Chain A
C-alpha cells in the first residue's frame, strides 16, 4: 500500500514540477492563480471546515496582506520577501484580534461579523484612496521581472507545499484534535479541558497568516491591487471551491480550488452561463454531497474498484457517516480496517 502511495506522490510531484513545460503561457498564468486560490482555500477550510469557525472575512486578510506588503515596499523600498513577511505578521495580529473579539460569537453571528468586517475594510481601502490607490488600483512591484511566469509558478508551488505541510502537521497533532472538538461542541470541549479561548484565537491567527501570505504573493504577481480582492464575491468563490472540493479536508479543499480555477477558465466559451453553472454546482454539492465532490467521487470509485483503505485519524471529516440525508453507502473497505 505504501508503494501505491509513493507512486502516486511521485507522479504528482513530477507533474507539478514539469507543469510549466507542458503548457503554454496562458495556462501557466492560470496555474499561478490556482496556486494562490489553493492556499487561500486550504486555509479557509482549516478555519471553517476543520475548526468550525465559519468566517466570511477570509478575503479581508488576503487583501490586508497584499496591501500591507505592497505599501511597505512602495514607501520604504524594502525587499519584497520582507514586505510579504510584514503582511503575514499584520494578518496574524489582526487575525488574533478578530478571533478574540469574536469569542462570544457563534455560527451565523460569527459569519455576519466577519462579513461586516470584510466589507468595512474594503470600504476603508476605497475611501482612503490617497494612501491605497482606492478603486483605481495600487501599483505593486512584481517579484520577478521577465517575460515568463515560470518563477512565479514555482514560488507559488513552494508556498503551497510549505503551507500545506504546516497545516497538515497542525491537523495531525493534538491541536487538530482540539480544533475538531471545538467544532463539534464547544461547551463539551471546554468541559473536557480544551483551552477553547486560546485555540479559537490561534485558529484565526494561523489561518489569517496563510491568507496574508497568499495575498502578498498575489499582489506581487499581478502587479496591481484593487479593493475587489477582498469583496464578498471573491469570498463566495473561495467558499465554493472549498465546499465543492470538501470543506472538512484541507487537501480536498485545495484540490477543489485547483480544479475549479482550471474549470472556470476552461468553460470560458459558455460566457455568462459559466457563473450560473458554477452556482448550480455549488448548490447541488451542498445539498447532496456535503462532504464535497471529491469524497463522493471516491465513494463511487471505491464501490467499483475497492482499494485497501485505512480510515486514519488526523481527522479528515467523517465521510459516509450519514452527514447528508442522501442514501450513499459507506465507503467499501477491503481488509485492513482499523
Chain B
C-alpha cells in the first residue's frame, strides 16, 4: 500500500512541477503588469504546437524543440503585449483591471478559434523525448514524465536565478513593487512589461511543449491548466514566485492523492477536475490574497 501511495505521490510531484512552471509564468505577469492573464492557457497550448511543428517541419530534435517553443511563445506574447496591452500603461485608460480581464479573455477566445483552424481537429502527438519507461522496484514512470519533471525544475531554477541574480530580474522585481519608484530610479517601464509578459508566456509555452508527448495536443488543451494555474497562483499568492512553486507542487500531489484515495470510484475521476477549482474557491474565501501573497500588491 505504501508503495502505491508513493508512486501516486511521485506522479503528482511531476505534474506539480509542470503546474508550478505555468503558475510561475502567470505570477510574473501579474506581478509586473498587474493583470490576471486569462489567455495563459492558450499560450501553453501554442507552445505545445510550436514544439510539435518544430520537430515535424524543421526536423529539430525534441529536446531542442522545447527551447524553440519557448522562444516562439516569447515572441507571440510580446506581439500580443505590444498590440493589445499598451492601454494598461496609459493614464487615460480607466479601470485598467477590467480592461485586463476583458482583453485577455478575448485573446483566449481568439487564439482557441485560430488554433482550431490552423492546426485542424485531429489530436497530434510529438515524438517522445526518450522512449520507454524508467523502472525502480515497483515504481514505474515514463522517461517523458521524468524529463518533463526535470526540465520543469530546471526552468524554475532558471527563473528564480534570473529574478534574483541578474540585473534584469532585479529590475523586474523593482517594477513589481512600485512602478513610480522604479521609474524614478531610471528603469524604463515599457521594456519591462514586454519582458515580463514574454517571460510568462515563454514559461507557459515551454510547459506545453513538455507535456505534448504525455497528453497529446488539442486546441482546447489550455482550458483546464488555465484554471489550475489560477488556483495555484491564488493559493501561493499572486505576487510570489516561490509561493507559486510550492503551491503548484502541493496541488499536483494532492490531486493525485485525491483520485487515489477518494472512496467513491465512480466519482473520483470527475470530481478530480473540480479539485483545484474548489481549492481556489476555498482559499479566496479565507484569504483573498493567498498564502504567501505580498500585501502590497494592488491592482492599480
Instruction: Please list the residues of chain A having a beta carbon within 8 angstroms of any beta carbon in chain B.
Output: 52, 54, 56, 101, 104-109, 111-113, 115-117, 119-120, 123-124, 126-127, 183, 232-233, 236, 239-240, 243, 272-273, 275-276, 278-280, 282-283, 286-287, 290, 322-325
Contact = CB atoms under 8 A, between A and B. Distances in A.
B267 interface: yes
B12 to A, nearest CB: 20
B139 interface: no
A68 B270 CA distance: 22
Contacts of A324: 87, 92-93
B107 interface: yes
29 contacts: A52-B95, A105-B284, A105-B288, A107-B299, A108-B97, A108-B101, A109-B234, A111-B36, A112-B280, A113-B284, A115-B230, A116-B231, A116-B280, A116-B281, A117-B281, A119-B277, A120-B278, A123-B277, A233-B109, A239-B105, A240-B109, A275-B113, A279-B112, A286-B99, A286-B103, A287-B87, A290-B99, A323-B92, A323-B93
B106 A286 contact: yes
A127 B36 contact: no
B109 A120 contact: no
Of B98, B102, B284, most A-chain CB atoms within 10 Å: B102
A248 B161 CA distance: 45
A126 B99 contact: no
A272 B110 CA distance: 12
Contacts of B177: none
B101 to A, nearest CB: 5
Nearest to A288: B87
Nearest to B102: A286
Nearest to B280: A116
B25 to A, nearest CB: 16
A322 B92 contact: yes
A283 B84 contact: yes
Interface residues of B, number: 48
Contacts of B83: 287
Contacts of B277: 116, 119-120, 123
Given A276-B114, A322-B92, A112 B230 contact: yes
Contacts of B270: 123, 126-127
A283 to B, nearest CB: 5
* Top 3 A-B pairs, shortest CB-CB distance: A279-B110, A275-B113, A108-B36
A56 B280 CA distance: 15
A111 B231 CA distance: 12
Contacts of A108: 35-36, 97, 100-101, 299
Nearest to B278: A120
A127 B271 contact: yes
A108 B102 CA distance: 10
Contacts of B112: 279
Contact of A113 (B105, B107, B267, B281): B281
A120 B288 CA distance: 19
A126 B270 CA distance: 8
A interface: dominant SS: helix
Contacts of B274: 119-120, 123-124
B3 interface: no
Contact of A276 (B90, B110, B231): B110
Given A108-B36, A108-B101, A113-B281, A282 B90 contact: no
Most-contacted residue by chain A among B83, B86, B288 (CB, 10 A): B288
Nearest to B223: A232
B38 to A, nearest CB: 8
B227 interface: yes
Contacts of B92: 322-325
Contact of A287 (B97, B103, B231): B103
Given A109-B284, A282-B110, A287 B84 contact: yes
Given A109-B288, A322-B92, A54 B98 contact: yes
Interface string B105-138: 1111111111011000000000000000000000
Given A116-B231, A119-B274, A123-B273, A106 B299 contact: yes
B293 to A, nearest CB: 11
B103 A112 contact: no
Interface in B213-237: 223, 227, 230-231, 234
A107 B114 contact: no
Contact of A54 (B84, B101, B106, B280): B101
Nearest to B98: A54
A52 B99 CA distance: 12
Given A107-B101, A240-B109, A325 B36 contact: no
B285 interface: yes
A236 to B, nearest CB: 5
Nearest to A232: B223
B191 to A, nearest CB: 19
Nearest to A277: B113
A120 to B, nearest CB: 5
Contacts of B95: 52, 183
Contacts of B100: 108
Contacts of B284: 105, 109, 112-113
Contacts of A106: 97, 299
Contacts of A233: 109
Contacts of B109: 233, 236, 240, 275, 278-279, 282
Give the most central of B103, B113, B116: most A CB within 10 Å. B113
A265 to B, nearest CB: 17
Contacts of A275: 109, 113, 116
Interface in B126-181: none
Interface string B252-285: 0000000000000001001101100110110011
B138 to A, nearest CB: 32
